[in-house]
Amino acid sequence: MSNLNIRPARPQDVPHIFGMIHELAVFEKLEHMVVANEAMLQEALFGPKPPCEAIVGEEANGEVVTFALFFHNFSTFLCKKGLYLEDLYVKQNRRGHGYGKQMLVALAQLAVERDCGRFEWSVLDWNENAIRFYEKVGAVVMPDWRICRVTGEALDALAAA
Protein backbone atom coordinates (compact mmCIF):
# COMPACT_ATOMS: atom_id res chain seq x y z
CA MET A 1 0.00 0.00 0.00
CA SER A 2 1.42 3.37 -1.03
CA ASN A 3 1.76 6.19 1.45
CA LEU A 4 -0.84 8.90 1.19
CA ASN A 5 -1.06 12.05 3.27
CA ILE A 6 -4.68 12.22 4.42
CA ARG A 7 -5.80 15.49 5.93
CA PRO A 8 -8.90 17.66 6.38
CA ALA A 9 -9.78 19.59 3.24
CA ARG A 10 -8.78 23.25 3.09
CA PRO A 11 -10.43 26.04 1.09
CA GLN A 12 -7.72 25.86 -1.58
CA ASP A 13 -8.67 22.20 -2.17
CA VAL A 14 -12.15 23.09 -3.45
CA PRO A 15 -11.17 23.24 -7.16
CA HIS A 16 -9.50 19.81 -6.88
CA ILE A 17 -12.45 18.30 -5.03
CA PHE A 18 -14.95 19.80 -7.46
CA GLY A 19 -12.96 18.43 -10.39
CA MET A 20 -13.10 14.95 -8.88
CA ILE A 21 -16.84 15.34 -8.22
CA HIS A 22 -17.25 15.94 -11.94
CA GLU A 23 -15.08 12.89 -12.74
CA LEU A 24 -17.22 10.81 -10.36
CA ALA A 25 -20.42 12.02 -12.03
CA VAL A 26 -19.05 11.07 -15.45
CA PHE A 27 -18.01 7.63 -14.15
CA GLU A 28 -21.49 7.07 -12.72
CA LYS A 29 -23.09 8.41 -15.92
CA LEU A 30 -24.83 11.08 -13.84
CA GLU A 31 -23.08 14.25 -15.03
CA HIS A 32 -26.46 15.61 -16.19
CA MET A 33 -27.51 15.75 -12.52
CA VAL A 34 -24.65 17.99 -11.34
CA VAL A 35 -25.96 21.49 -10.67
CA ALA A 36 -23.33 22.36 -8.06
CA ASN A 37 -20.40 24.68 -8.70
CA GLU A 38 -17.19 25.51 -6.85
CA ALA A 39 -18.74 28.44 -4.98
CA MET A 40 -21.53 26.21 -3.67
CA LEU A 41 -19.01 23.58 -2.58
CA GLN A 42 -16.89 26.27 -0.89
CA GLU A 43 -19.94 27.41 1.09
CA ALA A 44 -20.96 23.85 1.99
CA LEU A 45 -17.53 22.95 3.31
CA PHE A 46 -16.30 26.24 4.76
CA GLY A 47 -19.29 28.54 5.20
CA PRO A 48 -20.61 29.70 8.59
CA LYS A 49 -22.59 26.48 9.20
CA PRO A 50 -21.01 23.73 7.08
CA PRO A 51 -23.41 20.80 6.57
CA CYS A 52 -20.58 18.50 5.53
CA GLU A 53 -16.85 17.91 5.82
CA ALA A 54 -14.19 16.51 3.53
CA ILE A 55 -10.83 14.89 3.76
CA VAL A 56 -8.35 14.68 0.92
CA GLY A 57 -5.45 12.42 0.12
CA GLU A 58 -2.37 13.91 -1.41
CA GLU A 59 0.72 12.23 -2.75
CA ALA A 60 4.25 13.20 -1.71
CA ASN A 61 4.36 15.85 -4.46
CA GLY A 62 1.33 17.57 -2.92
CA GLU A 63 -1.11 16.54 -5.65
CA VAL A 64 -4.62 15.88 -4.32
CA VAL A 65 -5.66 12.56 -5.86
CA THR A 66 -8.61 11.46 -3.72
CA PHE A 67 -11.34 12.96 -1.57
CA ALA A 68 -14.11 11.85 0.73
CA LEU A 69 -17.09 14.05 1.59
CA PHE A 70 -19.12 13.08 4.66
CA PHE A 71 -21.54 14.31 7.30
CA HIS A 72 -23.21 13.10 10.49
CA ASN A 73 -26.56 11.38 10.53
CA PHE A 74 -28.38 9.85 13.49
CA SER A 75 -29.61 6.38 14.44
CA THR A 76 -32.73 6.27 16.61
CA PHE A 77 -32.10 2.58 17.31
CA LEU A 78 -28.60 3.28 18.67
CA CYS A 79 -29.38 6.80 19.89
CA LYS A 80 -26.00 7.79 18.48
CA LYS A 81 -24.77 9.84 15.60
CA GLY A 82 -23.30 8.08 12.61
CA LEU A 83 -20.82 9.04 9.94
CA TYR A 84 -22.31 9.00 6.45
CA LEU A 85 -19.93 8.93 3.51
CA GLU A 86 -21.56 10.79 0.63
CA ASP A 87 -18.73 10.35 -1.87
CA LEU A 88 -15.31 8.76 -2.00
CA TYR A 89 -13.33 9.13 -5.19
CA VAL A 90 -9.82 8.20 -6.27
CA LYS A 91 -8.59 9.59 -9.57
CA GLN A 92 -8.74 6.95 -12.28
CA ASN A 93 -4.99 6.96 -12.93
CA ARG A 94 -4.21 6.57 -9.20
CA ARG A 95 -6.33 3.49 -8.53
CA GLY A 96 -4.72 0.26 -7.42
CA HIS A 97 -2.38 1.90 -4.90
CA GLY A 98 -4.55 1.27 -1.83
CA TYR A 99 -5.72 4.88 -1.59
CA GLY A 100 -9.41 3.98 -1.32
CA LYS A 101 -8.76 1.66 1.60
CA GLN A 102 -6.57 4.26 3.31
CA MET A 103 -9.38 6.80 3.01
CA LEU A 104 -11.94 4.35 4.45
CA VAL A 105 -9.58 3.56 7.33
CA ALA A 106 -9.16 7.29 8.06
CA LEU A 107 -12.94 7.77 8.05
CA ALA A 108 -13.48 4.72 10.27
CA GLN A 109 -10.93 6.12 12.72
CA LEU A 110 -12.75 9.45 12.68
CA ALA A 111 -16.07 7.68 13.33
CA VAL A 112 -14.56 5.86 16.31
CA GLU A 113 -12.96 9.07 17.65
CA ARG A 114 -16.34 10.83 17.41
CA ASP A 115 -18.17 7.94 19.13
CA CYS A 116 -20.32 7.18 16.09
CA GLY A 117 -22.48 4.08 16.21
CA ARG A 118 -22.29 3.53 12.45
CA PHE A 119 -20.25 4.32 9.38
CA GLU A 120 -22.42 4.05 6.29
CA TRP A 121 -22.53 4.82 2.58
CA SER A 122 -24.37 3.80 -0.58
CA VAL A 123 -23.11 2.06 -3.67
CA LEU A 124 -24.69 1.74 -7.10
CA ASP A 125 -25.93 -1.80 -7.71
CA TRP A 126 -24.06 -2.06 -11.03
CA ASN A 127 -20.69 -1.11 -9.54
CA GLU A 128 -19.52 -4.66 -8.85
CA ASN A 129 -15.88 -3.64 -8.35
CA ALA A 130 -16.84 -1.21 -5.59
CA ILE A 131 -19.19 -3.73 -3.98
CA ARG A 132 -16.45 -6.37 -3.87
CA PHE A 133 -13.99 -3.80 -2.48
CA TYR A 134 -16.40 -2.67 0.25
CA GLU A 135 -17.22 -6.25 1.23
CA LYS A 136 -13.49 -7.03 1.37
CA VAL A 137 -12.97 -4.28 3.98
CA GLY A 138 -15.85 -5.63 6.09
CA ALA A 139 -18.87 -3.67 4.88
CA VAL A 140 -22.24 -5.36 4.58
CA VAL A 141 -24.29 -4.35 1.54
CA MET A 142 -27.81 -4.10 2.90
CA PRO A 143 -30.00 -5.97 0.37
CA ASP A 144 -33.32 -5.18 2.02
CA TRP A 145 -32.89 -1.39 2.06
CA ARG A 146 -33.64 1.03 -0.75
CA ILE A 147 -32.94 4.75 -0.86
CA CYS A 148 -36.00 6.99 -1.15
CA ARG A 149 -35.52 10.45 -2.61
CA VAL A 150 -37.81 13.42 -3.18
CA THR A 151 -36.36 16.37 -5.13
CA GLY A 152 -37.34 19.33 -7.26
CA GLU A 153 -41.03 19.73 -8.07
CA ALA A 154 -41.94 16.59 -6.16
CA LEU A 155 -40.28 18.01 -3.05
CA ASP A 156 -42.12 21.31 -3.50
CA ALA A 157 -45.43 19.48 -3.95
CA LEU A 158 -44.89 17.32 -0.87
CA ALA A 159 -43.97 20.37 1.21
CA ALA A 160 -47.12 22.14 0.04
CA ALA A 161 -49.43 19.18 0.75
**What confidence score (pLDDT) does residue 3 get?**
81
Average pLDDT over every residue of 56-62:
96
Above 60 in pLDDT, residue 1? no
pLDDT of residue 75: 97
Residue 87, phi then psi, degrees to nearest 5 = -145, 140
The arithmetic mean of pLDDT across residues 83-112, rounded, is: 96
With contact defined as beta carbons under 8 Å apart, do 130 and 100 qualify? no
Superfamily of domain 5-160: Gcn5-related N-acetyltransferase (GNAT) (3.40.630.30)
Question: Is beta strand 80-90 parallel, antiparallel or unpaired with respect to 53-58?
Answer: unpaired
Q: Is the pLDDT of residue 152 over 70?
A: yes
- By the 10 Å C-beta count (0-12 exposed, 13-18 middle, 19+ buried), 148 is classed as exposed
Is pLDDT of 105 > 90?
A: yes
Digit-coded pLDDT (tens) for 64-92:
999 999 999 999 999 999 999 999 999 99
User: What's the mean per-residue pLDDT of the chain?
Assistant: 95
Longest dimension (CA), the chain: 54
**What is the tens place of the pLDDT at every residue in 14-55?**
999 999 999 999 999 999 999 999 999 999 999 999 999 999
pLDDT band at 2 (very low <50, low <70, confident <90, very high): low
Percent over 70 (pLDDT), the chain: 99
Total-model pTM? 0.94
> Has residue 157 got a pLDDT over 80?
yes
